[in-house]
Structure 1
Amino acid sequence: MNNNILEFQEVWKTYGTDKNKLTALKGINLKLKKNSLNLILGPSGSGKTTLLNLASMLDTPTNGKIIINGQDTSKLSKLEKSKIRRNQIGIVYQRANLFPYLNILENTMLPMISNDINNASKILNMVGLVETSKFPDEISIEKQQKGALARAMINDPSLIVADEPTGELDKKSTEAIMDLIIEIKKKYTVLIVSNNVNLKKYCDNLFLLEDGYLQKIND
């Protein structure tokens, strides 16, 4: 039985043509198993954001296959890919990207498929966020990021992808968010891209992305 939530098979991503051609990813192979916490480290410009955009179905590879829950996404229409992104993938950004005119509960419920306030409250409680009626600018950056994690979990996805989720946090808040992500991975598969080497102690699988090439650096 295939236990992989996400697979990249010889994935290439190229932008532009001829003299302006830029190859961001070069033959990437990647397998993420269920309930694993995976970290891809790499410097700025290494291709991390490109890889994350492909994993979250926000972009398509130039060559190769991306498989989610055993389904080859290269053969799907834009609408079908959109449904996978909505139903099976949760996304967390460096900045929480919460809407300032919505309170925390409303932000969490925004992408919900079914308008279930009880489930939203349950997830917010799970991440330890009780200020559900407050607006983003009324709570700390750490709590905003907890809200972003809750929003990513709201449709019970198979995969959560996070782009520098601790990039704006101090050491104490980083530890709190990573401890929370460790709890989250008991239910979900998590992929983090970052340039913060201090996050490696939290992760099951560690990868290095440099100049478009991906290498696993732990077994």
Structure 2
Amino acid sequence: MALGRSRLWLVVAVAFAASSCQTEDKGPQPRYTSAGRELTKTTAQNRSSGRFIEFRSRYALTYGHTYVVFGSADKNGRMINPEVAGLAPASEDAAPYVIGHFIPVPATTGETDGDLEEQYRSASWRVMLTDAEYNDTVAYIRKLQARSRLWEATVYNCNAFVADIAKHMGYKTPGIWLRPQQFITRLREMNT
């Protein structure tokens, strides 16, 4: 009976992974910026420091990638020395990516090729933060990066990594089996 259940789990996991690949991305979505939660006159003034986190997705040869960009922005909204955090297989070779659809593979949690290139951005939602909110969020990201050593497409993927950050910030999150563009769009829609 246990063998039958494990096979059933494998079939379900593969079905989820395959179903997430069946939809197609739309063209690049507009940029969205939110002032954050509970905007009052005081927090609006505190958010003028330009600190932000941007939940973002980009196109890729496969179904895309979800990650966050964080840092400071100038008065025109341009990023100043942005940092990137996301979860992806720790190799540019395709083999670990394919294997990671069945078993966990070693992961990287930093910037990957194309993350900051505008032509690959498929969706984004920037949230302006107070200094205290920013410091708390960045501290959490650093802890998450330190403990996230494996990537597996159906259990802990780039969407799950970003969802952990969003949940820490108090946001509701969609399911992790969406395509990255859909994940970021739904994340924004659920919280604005």
TM-score by length of 2: 0.27
Structure with bigger strand share is: 1
TM-score by length of 1: 0.25
Structure with bigger helix share is: 2
